[in-house]
Structure 1
Amino acid sequence: MIRLVHALLTASAMSFVALSAQAQSQPVAWSPGYAGACGECDLSGKNLTGWSLAGGNYSSANMEYAFMRGVQAGNANFENANATSADMRGAILTSAQFAGAILSDARLQGIQASGADFRSANVRGANLQTALLVGANFASADLTGSRMESADLSGANLTGSWLNETILAGAVFNGSNMTGSQLRNAAVHGASFKDVRFIDADLSGLKGAETADFEGACVSLSSPLPAPLPLPLCGTAVAPAAFASK
């Protein structure tokens, strides 16, 4: 009997050691509050809801369909990560790095991502309703078909970005840089574009432009406009009536 108990205890101990070794071989310590190096690791479909990933390195990680609601990920590095259809609603992403990342069809409602870097990111079809994106960098980002109702992008960098077919109702772009931005057929009902310089931007087909606020905004000669939006040329006080695109 004593030998049997000893054998069972020995087997249990060996199993525990094996499991511990296996866990240590994983790229992520699976416990809330982990922040470290997880570059190129597979987090697809993982439930990270409420975790703290602040300052961690997740560059090129696979986060497809991951559940990341309310994660604390300020200053984290997600460059070139694949977060297709990830659920990040309410996440804190202040100053996080998403340059080159794929966020298509992601659920980003209510994220706090002021100062975050989304340069050249694929954000097509994502939902950014009520997102706080003050001073964020979306240079050359593709936001085609995204929803950004009531999002705040004041002072954001949107140079060369694609916003075609987006829903921008009630969104705020005051003081943002929209040089070379594409906003063809975007819905801008009640949006605010105060003091925006639309140099070389394409605003053709804007929907709801008559209800948006363009106080202090201006355009260049190469900026196509919808007929009811005669914005002034940058550097002039009044737009010529014929400047609106036909």
Structure 2
Amino acid sequence: MDKLNLRLISLAGAFAAFTAPGALAQGQPVAWSPSYVGTCATCELSGRNLTGWTLSGANYSEAKLDYSVMRGVQAVGVNFEGANLTGADMRGAVLTNAKLADGVFAGTRLQEIKASGADLRRALLHGASLQDAVMIGANFEDAELIIARLENADLSTANFKGAVFDRANLRGTVFNGAIFTDARMSGADITGASFRDARLPGANLQTVKGFDEADFEGACGSLTTRLPPAASLPLCTNAQLAANFSSDSN
């Protein structure tokens, strides 16, 4: 092969390396592949296409993933704590037992995700779309779901202690056995939602829409629970409150 061809090949390789999208793991370049399960904390991946990637067990804490495309990502046990996922497309992602505490999911598309057991404490989900999501037993303590859409999602036994659902769309959402201690739902639409056996001590549902069309069989509250006019819930028993405390401590 002559020197000219060798030089052209060398230049082409250099150009490809320069233009190929990349990530940084602990300051080192990470190969752009459909599977990366190492450490990529604080990576700059805004707007990247990670569709179909396998990230299970990876550490992406505080990574910048805003407006990225992550449809169908397999991310069981992934660490996205403090990550910025604003506007990301994560439809159909598998996030079972994922660490998502303090994450930013403003306007994020999370329809049909599988995230049972996920930790979303203090997460910001303003305007997020979670329709048909399955997040059984997830922890949303102190999370903000303002104007979020959760129609027909299954959030049974989840922890919503101190969570904010102002103006959220909760039509047909399943909250069976969930904890809503001191949660707030100002202006939320709960038409057709199921709160069977849910515990709502101190929760504020005073201005919700569709209270009479929601299912509260077996649910309970406290003297500080605020409900729409003429609505009522039985007071939680000591056994129910003890179960509440036990679940909160997990």
Which one of 2, 6, 9 corresponds to residue 3 of structure 2?
Answer: 6
Runs (4+) of structure 1 exceeding 6 A deviation are: 21-25
- Give the distance between the partners of 1:148 and 1:178, measured in 2 at CA: 16
- Equivalent position of 1:131 in the other structure: 133
In the TM superposition, what is the alpha-carbon distance from 1:35 to its structure 2 partner? 1.9
Query: Quick check: 1:94–1:113 contact (8 Å CA) kept in 2?
Result: yes
- Structure 1: unaligned runs, 5 residues or longer: 237-246
In the TM superposition, what is the alpha-carbon distance from 1:18 to its structure 2 partner? 8.4
Could you list the per-position Cα deviations for residues 163-217 of structure 1 after superposition, in whole angstroms to 9, with x for gaps in the alignment? 1111111111111111111112211111110111111111111111111110111
In the TM superposition, what is the alpha-carbon distance from 1:230 to its structure 2 partner? 1.3
Query: Quick check: 2:118–2:138 contact (8 Å CA) kept in 1?
Result: yes
Report the secondary structure of 1:50's partner residue: coil
Which one of 65, 68, 71 corresponds to residue 70 of structure 2?
Answer: 68
Once the two structures are overlaid, the 10-residue window that deviates more, 26-35 or 197-206, is: 26-35
Query: Quick check: 1:209–1:228 contact (8 Å CA) kept in 2?
Result: no
* TM-score, scaled to structure 1: 0.88
- Structure 2: unaligned runs, 5 residues or longer: 25-29, 239-250
- Equivalent position of 1:151 in the other structure: 153
Identity of aligned residues (%): 48
Which one has a bigger Cα radius of gyration? 1
Which letter does structure 1 place at the counterpart of 2:6? L
Query: Quick check: 1:55–1:73 contact (8 Å CA) kept in 2?
Result: yes
Query: Quick check: 1:40–1:58 contact (8 Å CA) kept in 2?
Result: yes
- Give the distance between the partners of 2:233 and 2:63, measured in 1 at CA: 44
In the TM superposition, what is the alpha-carbon distance from 1:105 to its structure 2 partner? 0.6
Which letter does structure 1 place at the counterpart of 2:108? A
Which one of 165, 174, 177 corresponds to residue 176 of structure 2?
Answer: 174
Query: Quick check: 1:51–1:72 contact (8 Å CA) kept in 2?
Result: yes
- Give the distance between the partners of 1:111 and 1:26, measured in 2 at CA: 25
* TM-score, scaled to structure 2: 0.87
- Give the distance between the partners of 1:152 and 1:175, measured in 2 at CA: 11
RMSD: 2.1
Matched, 1:227 2:224: no
- Give the distance between the partners of 1:86 and 1:109, measured in 2 at CA: 11
Query: Quick check: 2:23–2:40 contact (8 Å CA) kept in 1?
Result: no
